[in-house]
A = this chain, B = another copy of it.
Amino acid sequence: MEAEQTPEKPDLDPFFIPRRIALVGASTDYRKLGNSILMNLLASEVEVYPVTRNRDTVLGVKAYPNLAAIPKPVDLVIVAIAAKHCPDLMKEIRRAGARHAVVISGGFSETGEEGARLEAELVNAAREAGVRLIGPNCVGISNSRLFNGTFTMMPERGNIGLVSQSGALGGMLIYTTKAKRIGMSKFASVGNAADIGIVDIVDYFREDPKTSVITIYIEGVKNGRRLFESLRMASEKKPVVVLKGGRSDAGRRATQSHTGSLAGSTRVFDGMIKQAGCVTAPTLDTLFEIAKLFDYQPSPRGRNIGIISNTGGAGVLAADAASDFSLNVPPIEENTRKALRQILSPLASVDNPVDVVASGGRREYRVTVELMLADPNVDMLMVICAVPTFAGMTQTEHAAGTLEAIRAAETDKPVVGVWLAGDVGKPGKDLLEMNRIPCYDDPYVAALCMSRVAEYAERHNRSEQ
């Protein structure tokens, strides 16, 4: 649960950029979270001090019987011991020189009344000791450039910040973005948010120079006004993409047994998010697809999209999808059409969507992408490539041609790819993505993401007026 008030504006650097970390509850038992966390910390670029009463060394590293025994002051303490021992630890943490703790241990308010009392005790003990808390009952936090203070995977290095009210969904997003090679800057699972909550993390990500886009999974908070202000200020500085759990009656009932949040009406919440200048992600899978486009590409000037394809059918579906998301597919200049007519097959369609037809390869993609980017009617571009037609043709060359054109054009218009050929299309898709051209499996998802960056750009321009 989000705290109603936080006593002071927290400095979260010691959470996210610590030099020395102590782990209380370090373990050699692979079934304990304190084992996974230690493994992750030892692979990090930080000094690690495992604390355990049971052994002199853990995983080959010297262990300390308690925090006081550590020879140097630590910046951050990660806690993975039984809940009942946590409140007493707070004073010890402060004595060891730290003011920041991540309590991963469960067994607090998520378990019922008794746990809630223990959580209140923990919060009081922390306040008295002057220790700021993330958690309890969370997956932990990580900084992809520095350390992994979670019991889950280290995120891919990158620029997208994620704060999640659900630890498991946060962990899941790390796994899936890793598989898709989408990079995160920092990750925080706020758990029961007994002290530091989503709002504090958003405020921190807003000022973090390594975070270019903020993503949020949220079910609900107690202080809606503070959330609104935090989102509004953040979205003025960088894009914020919000996935809201508990939009429906059935979903809201489920949030109550999950985070105990009063999720509130969808319309009110969605309206609030838009009012705050943020954009929404409709599904788990699209949260980072949208964020990726914000991260990789410039902002569009408007809602007019150009579509290029090597098959008419995909152009048709892309135009349909654009319409679904209130993007326009405008006519292009007569000059552009003439130039395309000269270079493309007589069978090509030189209207928008442009169909270079199946014979179009690297050269046709290069020229068409350049011409479309130069057309004043086009604010952003969707380049689609369907299956190769003959044996010597691959989708990689279409990707290379697209990439050359984008580089040659020195454009400030966003471009996305849609590479449609399962495993065979993957090398082309990878080539684009490694060059920060987001590439999607379906024109529908591409159009959805493009609509969100257009929405943010409109909002942002309006605020500037």
Contacts and interface: CB of A to CB of B under 8 A. Distances in A.
Interface string A435-457: 00000011111000000000000
A390 to B, nearest CB: 5
Interface string A146-176: 0000011100000000001111110110111
Task: Count copies of this chain in the complex.
Answer: 2
A392 interface: yes
Contacts of A268: none
A254 B316 contact: yes
A36 B391 contact: yes
A175 B421 contact: yes
A75 B179 CA distance: 48
Given A316-B246, A347-B110, A311 B251 contact: no
B257 A349 contact: yes
A246 B172 contact: no
Interface in A337-367: 346-347, 349, 351, 353, 355, 358
Nearest to A358: B168
Nearest to A244: B320
B172 A421 contact: yes
A255 B313 CA distance: 8
Interface size band for A? 35 or more
Contacts of A349: 254, 257-258
29 contacts: A31-B392, A32-B390, A111-B347, A151-B390, A152-B387, A165-B313, A168-B358, A168-B387, A169-B386, A175-B421, A176-B420, A176-B421, A177-B422, A179-B422, A179-B424, A217-B313, A219-B316, A245-B313, A245-B316, A245-B317, A245-B320, A253-B329, A254-B316, A258-B316, A259-B312, A284-B317, A284-B420, A284-B443, A285-B442
Interface of A: 30-33, 35-36, 39, 106, 110-111, 151-153, 164-169, 171-172, 174-180, 217, 219, 243, 245-251, 253-255, 257-259, 282-285, 310-317, 319-324, 328-329, 346-347, 349, 351, 353, 355, 358, 386-387, 389-392, 420-425, 441-445
